[in-house]
Amino acid sequence: MAKKEPEQTGKRPTSTRKPSRPREDVKPPERPASSSRKKQEPAPTKAASRPRGKRTQPPPEPPRHKRNLRLRALIAVVLFTLVAVLIIEPSILDAIWPFDAPAPQAIADPDAPLATFYAPAVLHWAPQIEAWARAYELNPNVIAIVMQIESCGDPEAISFAGALGLMQVMPLHFDDGENMLNPDTNVRRGMNFFNECLRQYADWDIGLALACYNGGPGVVYRDMSTWPAETQRYYRWATGLWEDVVRGDGESPTLDNWLESGGQSLCTRAASRIAEEAS
């Protein structure tokens, strides 16, 4: 059989030679940049962003010596106004001047001065009142106010309700066997209860603490209009005396009104009792 010649396909025969390596010193041609990339536009300069027109300059600062003159003028005006106000109303100086003014009365200041307007029977106990104030860490005027209203200094006073002694303490506050009329014992029990009222129930409100002392802790949580009439009077007299103490002018209109309202008879008995004990 005759051999069949291969048909001509038009393709070049595949070479069996290995491709030669490209020369290293020949660089491949650079690829042209893509036409789809956006060209970066240069950033606008400051000159281009400024609006056209005349440039405005900031106002020049005043010289330092002119600023100093303005400051001095302002200080002079303030001082002149202050002097004028003090000339027109001199009492304003007492409110703003920190010297030679009476120190404020603090409830727990045992070294505060004892006022001199109390009844003579109360001032009879002045040395003991000051000692008791230091012992119970209270203002001596607090002890004197309670003594003034409760007994006016009568160590053997007994009320219709059964309260006893200088501070008119109810028997339930004493231990068995204690001498309830002994001044030291009576004041100790009375001030222990007052301190409880002041710190635990009244939150350092002197008026509420005094109302608690007279009417019991329950009055602290009630409206004043619902208090017993005696406690309302007690609150009014006691807070009035405290205000007279704080004012510090040596007089007490509240005490004068209290004496005229029936307190004088209590003080008369107290003075007689002290005179009897002294004789």
Q: Active-site residue numbers?
A: 150
Report how far residue 157's alpha carbon sits from residue 191's, in angstroms, rounded to the nearest whole number. 17
Contacts within 8 Å (CB) and 24+ apart, 241-245? 241/145, 241/148, 241/149, 242/105, 242/141, 242/142, 242/145, 242/206, 242/207, 244/115, 244/117, 245/105, 245/115, 245/141, 245/145
Query: Hey, what are 183's tokens?
Result: 């001044």
Query: Hey, what are 106's tokens?
Result: 């603090």
Report how far residue 210's alpha carbon sits from residue 216's, in angstroms, rounded to the nearest whole number. 9
Contact assessment for residue 145 and residue 246, using Cβ atoms and an 8 Å cutoff: no
The total number of residues shown for the chain amounts to: 279
Closest-CA residue to 145 (of 249, 239, 231, 208):
239
